[in-house]
Structure 1
Amino acid sequence: MSRKRYISLILILGTLTALGPFSIDMYLPGFPAIATYLHTDVAGVALSLSSFFIGLAAGQLLYGPLLDKFGRKKPLFVGLSIYIIASIGCTMVTTLDELIGLRVIQAIGSCAAAVASMAMVRDLFPVNENAKVFALLMLVVGASPMVAPTIGGYVTAGPGWQWVFIILALMAVFILVAVLLVLPNTYRPDPTISLKPKPIITGFLNVFKIPQFYTYTFTGSFAFSGLFAYVAGSPLVFMKVFGVDDTVFGWIFAGISVGFIGSSQVNSLVLRYFTSEQIVKVFLPAQALVGILFLIGSVTGVLGFWGTIVMIFLFMCCLGMINSNAAALTLAPFSRNAGTASSLFGALQLGIGALVSTSVSFFDSLSVVPLAAVMCGTAGIAFVLFFISLRINRGKFTGVTSERVVVSH
């Protein structure tokens, strides 16, 4: 594969992967404005974020079998079309319930892009390059938390929060055109795959019963859900507790995201000397330690504004080192049914993330403590689950350089 071709594929797959994060990050600075417009509070608007995560989780399960049966492009076209329609609908809402419902539909559309991009990594690149490719995708995805909140802040302060959803709809149109004109058909559809509930459930169970899959899925999901908690809780923490405005919040969000993006790229260099398994074993306990320090500092009140930023930044650095390696190790055993495996992985990750983000909204406290407690808890759960599973399933894991296993449907 030529370097030009390689770069173009990374950019397209990264853009597909970034559609969901853009849909999350761009409207965060508009929470207070949306709350005022819909006659609710910021915590109420945060429920529209949780509903988006729920829609993503449900859509993951829907698109996995569709991508394996019909190929990658057709389900992708359908999903992007749904996303565009729902995004336009979000500009017309008059109640919080309408926004929550349309965000679910918008998420179901956008997750076609996320599932397809993950599956196509397995289609297009050798399995031993997957962790590196996922890290490169994170570089493209990383533009979301850097650019989206900043743009969203200025758009909200200017023409209004409705224009955030208009911009998202236009993005999806451009992505749809790029997929149509540039992205190759990399997977031969498998007509033998049934879309009846029983075979689909059986296919998911066959994937789930592999120890390597459920170990790295739950480990990666709980580690990653700390990011969901941060996204849901950050508008309250920075805009209400610390009193920054919507544009400053966008810049803070962008600055903290550098930790996640930068460490994802450092991970590509570290992979030259260490395996994905070794990296995960180091940074899971590191993330848990940062979570504990964040909670202690928040409870005692010693962190303040800048201390809070530093602790969240360090937490994201650890996550950047964990995320790509956990994803690669999760999907390493699969080839023909990579769509089913990636959709189940995504559904579990997003489902756990949705529950975690919702839990932040339940805390009736104008302080940093609820966010710190949830982030500390998720990191601790990931750490404990990982090392318990390693002990129970010793000798049952394969590295990302190993031969792939085909799990029958």
Structure 2
Amino acid sequence: MMKQLVDKTERESVTVSEEVLPGDLMTGRQRAQLVLVLGALIAVGPLTIDMYLPALPAITTGLQTTETAVQLTLTGTLVGLALGQLLVGPLSDVLGRRLPLLAGLAVHVVASVLCVLAPSIAVLGALRVLQGLGVAAATVVATAVVRDLFSGAAFARIFSRLMLVMGLAPILAPTLGSGLLRWTEWRGVFAALAVLGALLIAVAAFRLPETLPVARRRRGGVGATLRDYRGLLNDRAFVGLVLVAGLAMAALFAYVSGSSFVLQKQYGLDEQQFGLAFGAGSVGLIGATQFNVRLLRRYTPQQILRGALIAGTVAGLLLVMFAATGIGGLGTLLASLWLVLAAAGLALPNAPALAMTRHSEAAGTAAALLGAVQFGVGALSAPLVGLLGTGSVPMAIVIAGGMAAALAVMLLVVPRAALGTVDAELAVALH
């Protein structure tokens, strides 16, 4: 049915000047199905990043390496995700969404299988880059598909719902990884990721039609792609919002990269307890993304974003204090982490929604740049935690720094007037 709607809209786009987006013709049930399919595609990224976290200490021992070297395998995945999105985004604007998506998922499957056989930390790190390159296709294409089907207000609403599906992945990933480690070694985690990638290829092939009509595809090859990127980079508000999203993601990935060592080594949690603690923290992230939909009925996205960044910065400073002094032990550390994650859960849907609504003419390229900055900045935060030392203090400093930097960019770089029209459109339509 969704394919028929897309085909109908493609025919109409040739004969009428004002295009009716396929999402406008969908029923509630069709939208729910779309959210599940796209959510599964988006979730493969967090699963690839987080599922092996409980195994980081075991990988350190098994491959006879250091904690910093193991954390660099996480950085490799994030670098692959960033670079992959810069490539896949423009390709999806030229070739359509399906072909780059299926090719990327195939690369992810191959890389996951090879990770099972990795003989050293260097090889594992290189393969994690390849994994990231493959999974980048799912991340950027899913975002571009939403923009193909929906305009600004509906985009924000669907994206917040996708955050619910995407938010389940960080909760389930360490728990699933911990469960697998009860029956197999760390290599079994990558075998499971290979199976997941193969299943998603089938889902994408049979449940996701092409959403970018030929008439709307970009022309001009490399030159057009460079012009698209130049146009995006010349938009100060877009660049600022992308940086805000990237710095908020950096705070999140500092937690992702450092939590397994802090909670297991410093506080003595076992792999299963770590999975539960990590999942509990992610509840704050998920709950905030869904509460965001209610907040949008009373406040503008820009107001919510600013408030979230202020709250996240304050919570980050509290986290640094508790980590440095040890006041309250593990309880206060987890509570302040929960508050930071909740603030990130409010910031992450609104910053992309405001940014993407400004550029419908090159949704794939805009989604690619957004995702590349998010994961690229996140890639920098992961090794930074390891370089600053072991323990909770380095992790807390990077988390707080990411939220504070995001707030500074929002206040100093993003012009408030430039977002006024988008704010009004999103807020009114979400009532």
Per the normalisation by structure 1, the TM-score is: 0.94
CA contact (8 A) 2:65 2:121 kept: yes
CA contact (8 A) 1:80 1:110 kept: yes
Alignment CA distance shift 1:244-1:214 (3 Å): same
| Alignment map for 1:47-196 (pairs within 5 Å) | 47-189=72-214, 192-196=218-222
* Residue from 248, 268, 272 that aligns with 1:223: 248
* Residue from 66, 84, 88 that aligns with 1:41: 66
Q: Which amino acid aligns with 2:411?
A: F
Alignment CA distance shift 1:320-1:269 (3 Å): same
Q: Which residue of 2 aligns with 1:388?
A: 412
Displacement after TM superposition at 1:157 (Å): 2.6
For residues 328 and 45 of structure 2, the distance between their equivalents in structure 1, rounded to whole angstroms, comes to: 32
1:322 is paired with a residue whose SS is: helix
CA contact (8 A) 2:175 2:272 kept: yes
For residues 195 and 363 of structure 1, the distance between their equivalents in structure 2, rounded to whole angstroms, comes to: 43
Q: Which amino acid aligns with 1:139?
A: L
Matched, 1:378 2:402: yes
Q: Which runs of 5+ in 2 are unaligned?
A: 1-25, 427-431
Matched, 1:399 2:422: yes
CA contact (8 A) 1:65 1:193 kept: no
CA contact (8 A) 1:30 1:152 kept: yes
For residues 192 and 93 of structure 1, the distance between their equivalents in structure 2, rounded to whole angstroms, comes to: 40
Q: Which amino acid aligns with 1:253?
A: F
CA contact (8 A) 1:54 1:354 kept: yes
Identity of aligned residues (%): 36
1:142 is paired with a residue whose SS is: helix
Matched, 1:292 2:317: yes
CA contact (8 A) 1:277 1:399 kept: no
Aligned residues: 399
2:213 is paired with a residue whose SS is: coil
CA contact (8 A) 1:86 1:106 kept: yes
1:16-65 CA-partner distances (Å, limit 9, x unpaired)? 11101000111000111111211113332111001111111111100011
CA contact (8 A) 1:157 1:246 kept: no
CA contact (8 A) 2:249 2:377 kept: no
1:169-208 CA-partner distances (Å, limit 9, x unpaired)? 1111111111111112111245653343x44333211112
For residues 36 and 195 of structure 1, the distance between their equivalents in structure 2, rounded to whole angstroms, comes to: 47
1:94 is paired with a residue whose SS is: coil
Q: Which runs of 5+ in 1 are unaligned?
A: 404-409
1:73-130 CA-partner distances (Å, limit 9, x unpaired)? 0000110000000000000001000000000001000010000011111111232112
Q: Which amino acid aligns with 1:134?
A: F
Displacement after TM superposition at 1:396 (Å): 2.5
Displacement after TM superposition at 1:353 (Å): 0.8
Matched, 1:9 2:30: no
For residues 89 and 400 of structure 1, the distance between their equivalents in structure 2, rounded to whole angstroms, comes to: 46
1:203-238 CA-partner distances (Å, limit 9, x unpaired)? 211112112211211112112210010000001110
Displacement after TM superposition at 1:364 (Å): 2.4
Displacement after TM superposition at 1:401 (Å): 5.8
CA contact (8 A) 1:64 1:341 kept: yes
2:262 is paired with a residue whose SS is: helix
1:301-325 CA-partner distances (Å, limit 9, x unpaired)? 2141111111110100011111101
Q: Which amino acid aligns with 2:94?
A: K
2:197 is paired with a residue whose SS is: helix
Matched, 1:346 2:371: yes
Per the normalisation by structure 2, the TM-score is: 0.90
Alignment CA distance shift 1:95-1:269 (3 Å): same
Matched, 1:258 2:283: yes
Q: Which amino acid aligns with 1:193?
A: R
Q: Which amino acid aligns with 2:362?
A: N
Displacement after TM superposition at 1:355 (Å): 0.6
For residues 364 and 325 of structure 1, the distance between their equivalents in structure 2, rounded to whole angstroms, comes to: 33
| Alignment map for 1:327-338 (pairs within 5 Å) | 327-338=352-363
Q: Which amino acid aligns with 1:114?
A: T
